Amino acid sequence: MNLTYKQPGRLLAVLLTGLVLALPWGQANAQHDIRGITGDTFNLYAFPFSMNLPEGSSLQMWGFGDIDAGAGATHAEGDGYNLPQYPGPTLVVTEDVPVTINLTNSGVPQPVSIVVTGHNVNAACTMPENLCSDGLLTKAANVGEKVTYTFTPTEPGTYIYHSMDGSNPGLHVEMGLLGVLIVRPSDASRTAYGNDTGTDYEQEFLSLLTEVDPEIHLQMERGHVTHFTNSDRFAKVWFVNGRVFPDLFQGNYNELFPHQPYESLAQAHPGERVLVRQVNAGQDSHPFHFHGENLRFIGRDGRKLSSDGVVADLGRSDNTINSAPKQAIDAIWTWTGKDLGWDIYGHDTTHVCNAGPDGFGDATSTYPGEYCPDHGKAFPVTLPGTQDLSLGGWWSGSPFLGDNGDLPPGEGGLNPYGGYFFVWHSHAEKELTTFDIFPGGSLGAVVVLPPGTPIE
């Protein structure tokens, strides 16, 4: 039963969207977890590298890399990845399991350290032959030195690890020595904070915001550590998960972006709960705005918003997160199509909707999760002809979920599943540019895919 294509031959540019090749419905309807490395011991190194921006320039960066080359990767696609990266590897750990991070400075010309927000980290120079230094906040590693950091995460949530040292303590974050720490609940539940906390989810995505002032990177590249004054810092490039639009849609571990392994295209089926780990590891605030549906705040800085300490029930519904630097916010976002007023599967004249107790189609329906009160309602307008439209790459040619329509040659192609793209972006609109070029910057998105589309 071929649900996902109206035109079986239209498989345009699958690779560009980073989506997996279509499989018939009935195959594993998998769920997305954040990419990273996992375990209880991480061996990281710090090293400079150059990173490409979409308009052709490159930036000198300092980044953390995984010495173990993805031996602990959460997903097979991360196997073998060992380059210094922006952001640093996302570390996925488990509540109450002690964590060790061994950090070696392989070439960053400043003492590099690691602090983990919300955690009391012990630091030690454990290798007798490798000295380390007393830094500003903790022990630090000059070139050739190594530090061992240990801590035990006791609360599930989202946190930041970053370097902070030297004569300009904010410089290391500016240069890219930052990453995300995710602590999963010890009961192995698919929840943000544990069973019965009201934080269950189907899809998990990271939304990490950073920004840079390229002038600083230029001076670092020339070795001029002091040729700027930090109070003159003025960001001009904005990132989500270390990439800039449109690179951020183009798949994890994409060889086109060797030092930027993470994409930021969220994917969900209608009705699924998406856990968004919204982190700001930069130095400016960003009002991050979610199209498509409101989100529900469930926690800040790794602590659930709770009236009784058990259930995350004090989070309000909102469409914008005022993301402050070094704050981490957890939120749940769900798109259902409820009350749209027209049948989103209008292309399928034979589909049935058997309402469950909540009004949405149950498992016996053609499209589970369809909002049955809107079943059969016609699309309310007549679409103009294609010749009267300006077409974007993500227009499938049809307004219906899972449908493709006729498009002139060369148009579209970035939406083979006929999904609904909703932009998730900074609402400070200048941050949607890269060097004054729109679109750019921190313009990410979520795509709602028809039921049955595999999401991995």
Partner 1 sequence: MKRSNNMKTTLKLGLLVSTLALAAGPAAAEVYNLCAVQTTKTLPDTSTVPMWGYALDDDGDLSNGCSNPVTIPGPRLTVTTGTLTINLRNDLSEPTSIVIPGLPMPDSGAPGSDGNGPTWNDGTAGLRDPLAVPPQRVRSFGAEAAPAGGIESYSFTVGRPGSFIYHSGTHPQKQVYMGLYGAATKDSAAGEAYPSIGTSPAVTYDNEVVLFYSEIDPDLNNAIAGSSYMTSIHYHPRWFMVNGEPYVDGMADITTGTGGAPLVAGEAVLVRFLSAAGKTHVPVLQGQHMTIHAEDGLQYNYQDGANVVAAAPREQYSAMLPPLKTKDAIVQAPAAGRYAVYDGNGYMTNPTDPEDITVGDEVGGMLRFLAFSEPEPDQDGDGVPDSSDLCPDTPAGEPVNADGCSASQLDSDGDGVSDAVDNCPLIANPGQEDKDGNGVGDACEPPQLTSFWSNGDEVVGATISMFVFGDYFDMATGATQVYVNGIQQFLVQAVTTEMLIVRVTVTSEMIGGPVTVTTSNGSAVSSTNFGDTLPGLQITGVWPSTVTEGVNASVFVFGSEFDLAPGATEVYMNGIRQYFVAVVSPEMLIVRITPTLAMTGPVEVRTPAGGSAFSSTSLVVVPAP
Report in angstroms how near the CB of residue 352 gets to partner 1 at its nearest.
42
Residue 428 binds partner 1 (CB under 8 A) = no
Question: Is the distance from CB of 46 to CB of 85 less than 8 angstroms?
Answer: no
- # of chain residues touching partner 1 (CB under 8 A): 42
Residue placing its CB nearer to partner 1 in the complex, 170 or 198: 170
Residue placing its CB nearer to partner 1 in the complex, 164 or 372: 164
Footprint (CB under 8 A) of partner 1, residues 57-116: 115
Candidate residues 28, 56, 256, 307; the one interacting with partner 1 per rule CB under 8 A: 307
Q: What Å distances lie between residue 313 and 203, 253, 274, 405, CA to CA?
A: 20, 36, 17, 43
Question: Is the distance from CB of 83 to CB of 258 less than 8 angstroms?
Answer: yes
Residue 174 binds partner 1 (CB under 8 A) = yes
Q: Which stretch binds partner 1 (CB under 8 A): 98-106, 229-237, 266-274, 358-366?
A: 229-237
Give the whole-angstrom CA distance, residue 158 versus residue 155.
Answer: 9
The residues facing 224 across adjacent strands are none
Q: What Å distances lie between residue 318 and 294, 297, 322, 328, 401, CA to CA?
A: 5, 8, 10, 16, 25
Residue 355 binds partner 1 (CB under 8 A) = no
Residue 230 binds partner 1 (CB under 8 A) = yes
Report in angstroms how near the CB of residue 62 gets to partner 1 at its nearest.
15
Candidate residues 69, 83, 137, 218; the one interacting with partner 1 per rule CB under 8 A: 137
Report in angstroms how near the CB of residue 171 gets to partner 1 at its nearest.
8
Q: DSSP letters along 125-162, please?
A: ---TTS--EE-SSSEEB-TT-EEEEEE---S-EEEEEE
Q: What element of type H or E holds 17?
A: helix 14-17
Q: Which stretch binds partner 1 (CB under 8 A): 32-40, 118-126, 240-248, 443-451?
A: 118-126
Residue 52 binds partner 1 (CB under 8 A) = no
Candidate residues 190, 289, 303, 338; the one interacting with partner 1 per rule CB under 8 A: 303
Question: Is the distance from CB of 294 to CB of 332 less than 8 angstroms?
Answer: no
List the x/- string, 364-383, binding to partner 1 by CB under 8 A.
--------------------
Residue 167 binds partner 1 (CB under 8 A) = yes
Give the whole-angstrom CA distance, residue 241 versus residue 287.
Answer: 16
Contacts of 279 by beta carbon, 8 Å cutoff, 6+ apart: 158, 160, 180, 206, 207, 208, 209, 323, 327, 328, 329
Residue 152 binds partner 1 (CB under 8 A) = no
Report in angstroms how near the CB of residue 106 gets to partner 1 at its nearest.
24
Q: Helix, strand or coil for residue 375?
A: coil
Residue placing its CB nearer to partner 1 in the complex, 259 or 286: 286
Using a 10 angstrom Cβ sphere, with 0-12 exposed, 13-18 middle and 19 or more buried, the burial of residue 24 is: exposed
Residue 166 binds partner 1 (CB under 8 A) = yes
Residue 284 binds partner 1 (CB under 8 A) = yes
Question: Is the distance from CB of 405 to CB of 415 less than 8 angstroms?
Answer: no
Candidate residues 35, 184, 286, 300; the one interacting with partner 1 per rule CB under 8 A: 300
Catalog residues that contact partner 1 under the rule CB under 8 A: 115, 117-121, 136-137, 164, 166-171, 173-174, 224-233, 283-285, 300-303, 305, 307, 314, 322, 324-327
